[in-house]
Amino acid sequence: METLPFCPVNFARPGSVSLVDFSFNTRPFPTSIRKQSLGITRASVAVETQNPKLALIKIGTRGSPLALAQAYQTKDKLIASHPHLAEDGAIEIVIIKTTGDKILSQPLADIGGKGLFTKEIDEALINGDVDIAVHSMKDVPTYLPDKTILPCNLLREDVRDAFICLTASSLADLPAGSVIGTASLRRKSQILHRYPALKVEENFRGNVQTRLKKLNEKVVQATLLALAGLKRLNMTENVTSILSLDEMLPAVAQGAIGIACRSNDDKMAEYIDKLNHEETRLAVACERAFLLTLDGSCRTPIAGYASKDADGNCIFKGLVASPDGTRVLETSRKGPYTYKEMMEIGKDAGEELLKLAGPGFFGC
């Protein structure tokens, strides 16, 4: 099989985005992001600068290509819903480096704690450095910081995981002893449960581009990435195959983008209310109720997915596993697609798996 090509990241917009440690020119470019300069600054946040006019909305985000793609998607939707925001400088992108971005030498599970990719952004929101925060919902802890609300989810992307490999067409085709690179314990446990002859490199960190580079350098034989992220980056040509939901249940809220604002900021709440996709919001709420009930530790693989069937009902599937994949517990539910009932579905499914797992299963 030929080496998979890298695809351009197409989130660029006119202007410039300056980061804490270096800056990117966001004028359109042909193949990739080009590092412009390297240097240390004292700023804790960085702003997309278009003109000195005071912005009406400052969007807080991480600085990875995927995070920026999601921030620009939010910006575009805000402009589409509120045409006056199309004026130059009306919306600024503020890049904030999180704990998860700073510590790349360890597996996420070993770093511990919650909110590794959201804490600093939430702090900037509370402090008034930004007006809204754009998060990948699977990174958002089940609790929200005081003085913030998260009332908006954009239309959800494909929740499935993509298999990417230079030598095999699927996990099943990989020879025994092949190494899969993934920092996700959820993926690791489900891989090892179905394919115990495979090995998993857990400290496989970095953004999408970094992980694909490691794959091309044969650091590992294959990797799994969220299909949603690859679609948002226009990089689906790198996908070897797509795993079914039966083969790999997604992370809670995978493929969903959340937008938070301060709880006392009615103006921002009104802005983002028009962006909300209610079906997605309800599904994410159901899945997060499941996660909250389990209260899993940093080393507990948990997966959950709520969707609407052809009859308009909620179908929920949930899973917990041991990190080595030797024990996997699953459950499913069906009920009305309404907020109250879906919250109950998530909670009830979590309580069932807690009982099945027994004491000590969720210990860190």
Q: Which residues are catalytic?
A: 139
Alpha carbons 74 and 183: distance in angstroms, whole number: 27
3-class secondary-structure state, position 84: helix
- The alpha-carbon radius of gyration of the chain (Å, integer) is 20
Strand ranges, E, within 129-252:
132-136, 148-153, 161-165, 179-181, 199-201, 222-226, 241-242
How do strand 179-181 and strand 199-201 relate by DSSP bridges? Answer: parallel
Backbone angles phi, psi at 211, to 5 degrees: -70, -35
Give alpha helix (H) positions in the chain.
65-81, 99-102, 108-111, 119-126, 185-194, 208-216, 227-232, 266-273, 278-294, 339-357
List the beta bridge partners of residue 46.
Answer: 95
Pairing of strands 161-165, 91-96: unpaired
- Distances in Å between the alpha carbon of 86 and those of 25, 121, 339? 21, 24, 34
Task: Note whether 224 and 243 are within 8 A (CB).
Answer: yes
How far, in whole angstroms, is CA 348 from its chain's centroid? 25
In angstroms, the CA 263 to CA 267 distance is: 10
DSSP structure class, residue 314: E
Distance CA 346, CA 156 (A): 18
Report d(CA 331, CA 329) in Å as an integer. 7
Angle (CA) 176 196 305, round 5°:
125
